Amino acid sequence: MPKRNPHFWLLLLLIASGIVLLLYRDAEGQVILPEDDCLRCAAKALRGDFGKLQEWQRVGYAQFMEHGPTWKRAWCTDYFPDEGFPRGQGTRWSYPVNERCAACNELPGFSFVWSNRFGIRQVLDTGADSNDRHARNGTKHRPSAGHWLDIWVPRAGMFGFTSEVMPVAAVRGRQPAKWKHGGAPKHTWLDY
């Protein structure tokens, strides 16, 4: 067997990489974005389409790209200053409430959620255990959902809802799972 030049493998790797990059572009040379709404938003955010990201946003979008989103129907509500949650008040895990915050009992603390209605949030708070039962039971005015999620907003209804069932993507955070009662609940959103 003839001895190959050591640069042969490097050249072969470069050619293969070029082919892969060409396959991910359309006829005009634009990078083809993922079809999943969450992943498409994450790809755009990470390449800078929305301006400079805060570090927690960068980490969240990178987690979605690395692990993929887990989509569920969630009963989404919002909490706000007029309900007694002023900006900066501490959450269950001592983080200040702000536009970063979401509350959820069936996602571990520090996981990320995304919806095309409210964007990316990080689970830094929890709520009443009864919220999850109410989500699954539904009402005559609201369909049932698999989970409950509460997002903090500076004013009620700023995203066009205060209580609505919608598809929401979730992904784990980089930290180990942290649960409200110390262990995973019966109905967890993610396989941890």
Structure tokens at 165: 């069932």
Burial of 45 (0-12, 13-18, 19+ CB in 10 A): buried
Cβ 168 vs Cβ 115: under 8 Å: yes
CA angle 70, 76, 80 (to 5 degrees): 130
Spatial distance between the Cα atoms of 21 and 15, rounded to a whole number of angstroms: 10
Coil vs helix vs strand at 72: strand
Spatial distance between the Cα atoms of 66 and 171, rounded to a whole number of angstroms: 10
Which pLDDT belongs to residue 185?
Answer: 80
Spatial distance between the Cα atoms of 174 and 108, rounded to a whole number of angstroms: 11
Coil vs helix vs strand at 156: coil
The pTM (predicted TM-score) of the whole model is: 0.80
Could you tell me the residue ranges of all domains in the chain? Answer: 37-171
Spatial distance between the Cα atoms of 130 and 124, rounded to a whole number of angstroms: 18
Could you give the C-alpha distances from 148 to 33, 40, 137, 141, in angstroms and in order?
30, 24, 11, 16
Which pLDDT belongs to residue 22?
Answer: 46
Spatial distance between the Cα atoms of 58 and 42, rounded to a whole number of angstroms: 9
pLDDT in tens, the chain (192 residues): 556 666 665 555 556 555 444 445 444 556 688 999 999 999 999 999 999 999 999 999 999 999 999 999 999 999 999 998 999 999 888 899 999 999 999 999 999 999 999 999 999 999 988 999 999 998 888 899 999 999 999 999 999 989 999 999 999 998 887 787 777 787 788 875
Which pLDDT belongs to residue 65?
Answer: 96
Spatial distance between the Cα atoms of 48 and 172, rounded to a whole number of angstroms: 23
Which pLDDT belongs to residue 13?
Answer: 53
Spatial distance between the Cα atoms of 32 and 11, rounded to a whole number of angstroms: 25
CATH classification code of 37-171 = 2.40.40
Spatial distance between the Cα atoms of 96 and 189, rounded to a whole number of angstroms: 24
Could you give the C-alpha distances from 124 to 103, 104, 149, 178, in angstroms and in order?
6, 8, 11, 10
